[in-house]
Structure 1
Amino acid sequence: MKQQITSFLTFQKSNAEQAMNFYVDIFNNSKVIEVQRYGNDGAGKEGTLMRGVFELNGKQFICSDSFIQHKWDFTPAVSNWVECETKEELNRLYKTLSESGDVKMPLDNYGFSKLFAFVEDKFGLSWQLNLE
């Protein structure tokens, strides 16, 4: 069996499903694959996401609402790199992902890319957007 490595996103504000649906809506060729919720006898709050599996343009992710409050959260040190095919695509993703988020590096030519931006979205996940 081939080893599968998948990014696992732990949400601490019971918004994993909202984030998953947000990402699936903004990236092309994306879909929700599986949704498992905590029941009334589960460890987490009933109805929250125990496990969500989704795909963003062929890359699989797993997410969950953590019922344990950790001292850590997402960090910009780990981010998602997105190769955009057009300036329009990059601008659209930049606008959508930075709304109610935090722009770490605004859209610009930083020398290593024609056009690049680094943003943290409203859920705390970081994205590096690059124009090929």
Structure 2
Amino acid sequence: MFVVGSFFVLKEKEKVMRRKQFIWIAIIIILIIFGGGLWYITNQKSTSKDTIVIGTQNTDTAVWEHIAKSSQAKKAGLNIKVKDITDSNSINKATATGQIDVNGFQSYAFFTTYNNKNPNLNCKIK
């Protein structure tokens, strides 16, 4: 009887140890999944830095290139590409067709006049 009782005690200890092992394995798997998800989210932010393409002309090009290379732009995580475009009509067309993201040289009066004359290439203020 003593041997049989010890056998049941050992079986019960094995069950408890297996249950503890299962819990630890489950915790480790959850931590791996959580850590992997956190890593993925963090990398998505760092790899999804889109380049902002700014269309400028004349002396504004040098100003925007300085801004693009500045420590403040880098600190803010901005990746700015500057495109020198020869005339304002071409800048508006490039903005309307998505060749550039931002029009860095424009007066509001010229902007509204362009939009009125070119309704099919209407540039929007965002």
- After TM superposition, is the score higher than 0.5? no
Structure having the larger proportion of residues in helix: 2
Q: Which has the larger radius of gyration?
A: 2
**Structure in which a larger fraction of residues adopt strand:** 1
After TM superposition, the score normalised by the length of structure 2 is 0.24
